[in-house]
Amino acid sequence: MNVLVMYDRQTDTLWSQLIGEAVEGELAGTKLEYLASWMTTWSDWKTRYPDTVALEKGYSGQVDPYTGYYLSEEAGVIGEDHVDDRLARKQWIVGVSLGDEAVAYPFLALNKESIVMDTVGGTPVLVIFDKNTANSAVFDRSTSEGVLTFEIEEGLTLVDQETGSTWDGLTGEAIEGSLNGETLRRLKSTSSFWFGWKDFYPDTKVYGELVEVK
Amino acid sequence: MLIQKLGRLGILVVGAWVISACATSTPPANVTPVGGGVEYSIITLLPKDSIRSIDNPRFLDIPEADLEYDADELVIGVEFDGEARAYSIDLLSRREIVNDEVQGRPIAVTW
């Protein structure tokens, strides 16, 4: 299903990037630990982290060879495994997989709402999306004061209805109020094309999809 | 315009080696259908290291970085124990992996 495969030089084991796990070789079955990262613009990142450094590129500007690919209808190098046309193949989604449930949150839906509160695999989640940069993060809404529900105060600053504390939506940190200093547990999420996500998670739900009530 | 920006974003699904997986149509009840429940085959498109990882990354302070990075250039940002680093997605699109170490922690930044 068109996912980057890596090898380690120490053992030649093969590792799948999407699931962070060794799939073939001596270390097969080993899981890599995911660490929190954000995808955003350089200007946004250096504003948030004024002491940041940046990887030396050796050139200026952008020369991405995949520009034509992103805009095309082609899906990966070998085509897809099965058709699931709930979303267009190249539509971007934020993917969350917890317990035995996977949910795809389309960028187009997140663009309208900025924050979504949901439950995935029994965990109450908060999905936050910055429509200016496509940066996103997903957090567990459980805290020492129970499960919180959030509203946007301004931009990506949130306030919870249970304690009235103010939160930085992208870091999940309470910055004011009775929960000041507490940080929401960040959950693993992936920004992906729909075609890649649904091949790996064929039973995925799609946020915003109407489900038939029987 | 968001669609314009989306046109520049990279993807998670490209590589020199490719996994192709077929989900089993009726997974057994005791097997989690995601991730490890799929069968797969690996197709080799290019020899190893046709796409060279970045193994000895060097970093620039903001004033130097501003000479190489556009304001709207997408980056992957990480922050550990107070140290923040940004990795150009434009460069990662071509090199795929940066092997780095931040605050003593060995990490692989992948695209």
CA atoms of A7 and B19, how far apart (whole Å):
13
Inside any domain, residue A143: yes
Residues of chain B found within 8 Å of residue A136, distances taken between Cβ atoms: none
Report the gap between the CA of B6 and the closest CA in chain A (Å): 8
Indicate the domain borders of chain B: 2-110
Residue B28's pLDDT band (boundaries 50, 70, 90)? very low
Pairwise pLDDT comparison (A174 vs A192), residue with the higher score = A174
- Is the ipTM value over 0.95, yes or no? no
Structural contact between residues A3 and A200, judged by C-beta atoms closer than 8 angstroms = yes
- Inspect the interface and report whether the beta carbons of A192 and B13 lie closer than 8 Å: yes
CATH number at residue A140: 2.102.10.10
Number of domains in chain A: 1
Which tokens belong to B94?
Answer: 């071509």
Q: A55-100 pLDDT, tens per residue?
A: 999 999 888 655 545 555 555 655 565 677 788 887 899 999 999 9
E-assigned strand segments in B2-96 = 17-22, 39-44, 59-60, 74-80, 83-88
Q: Could you give the CA distance from residue B81 to residue A87 in angstroms, rounded to a whole number?
A: 39
Domain range holding A108?
A: 84-214
pTM equals 0.71
Nearest CA in chain B to A110: B2
**Do residues A150 and A143 make contact, with C-beta atoms less than 8 angstroms apart?**
no
Q: Looking at CA atoms only, how far is residue B67 from chain A in angstroms?
A: 7
- Residue found by looking up tokens 């903001």 in the block: B62
Kindly state whether residue A166 falls inside one of the protein's structural domains. yes
DSSP state of B12: S
Are B10 and A82 a contacting pair at CB < 8 A? no
> Does A25 map to a domain?
no
Is pLDDT larger for residue A69 or for residue A197?
A197
Give the mutation candidate from A4, A170, A200 for the B interface (greatest B CB count, under 10 A). Answer: A4
The pLDDT mean for chain A works out to: 87
Residue of B6, B42, B86 lying closest to A54 (CB–CB): B86
Residue A75 lies in a domain: no
Candidates B74, B78, B96; CA nearest to B5 is B74
Q: Which residues contact A164 (CB under 8 A, 6 or more apart)?
A: A177, A178
